[in-house]
Amino acid sequence: MSCFRGLVKLSTKMTYLREFAKLSGMKAIYPGTFDPITLGHVNLVERAAKQCESLIVAVAESEGKSPSLSLKQRVELVKASVAHLDRVDVVSFNGLLVDLAKAHQATAIIRGLRTAADLAYETQLAYMNHVQHPGLETIFLTPNPQFAHIAASLVREIAAMGGDITAFVSAPVAKALSRD
């Protein structure tokens, strides 16, 4: 129960930060590997874009994760998946996220949370980023419930086995991952 109370407090803070973002014209970055970008990711981009003056979707090179798609493919699929949105740019990056934020004069990082495990990990990242760049806020968003179960790793696995992934990704991503 205490975990729930903590999430309620966090939720209150997130609501405040979303309103702050609207009022301040915040420029934010939503980083990820996006291997591949899922409908859950797109949902977060759509909602974050409404709250910010501008949003950069930053596709990380992430060589340590050994992505199944090349950086170029991931960037193109992210662009195709968010093309319907205004004030959203897609860039690739390698290196520290705080350096990218400084280069683009971003004042916030958008991070998605699906589970309590995500919260623990993302909170640690937020603290580390804040130490490196004290003016950089981290805003946590949860996906809408219909997308909360979607994980890129599961999408890759289903696609590799020839399964139907159209309920989890945009049409361009489904086409790119199809075995045909």
Mean pLDDT calculated for residue range 77-91: 96
- Proportion of the chain above pLDDT 70, given as a percent: 86
For the chain, give me the number of helices (H) and strands (E)?
7, 5
What local confidence, expressed as pLDDT, does residue 63 receive? Answer: 78
Number of other residues whose CB lies within 10 A of the CB of residue 90: 23
For residue 157, CA distances in Å to 52, 151, 165 come to 34, 10, 10
Instruction: Give the separation between CA 17 and CA 137, rounded to whole angstroms.
Output: 9
Instruction: Give the separation between CA 180 and CA 165, rounded to whole angstroms.
Output: 13
- Token reading at 133: 């760049």
Class of domain 2-177: alpha beta
Residue 23: pLDDT band (50, 70, 90) is very low
What local confidence, expressed as pLDDT, does residue 21 receive? Answer: 44
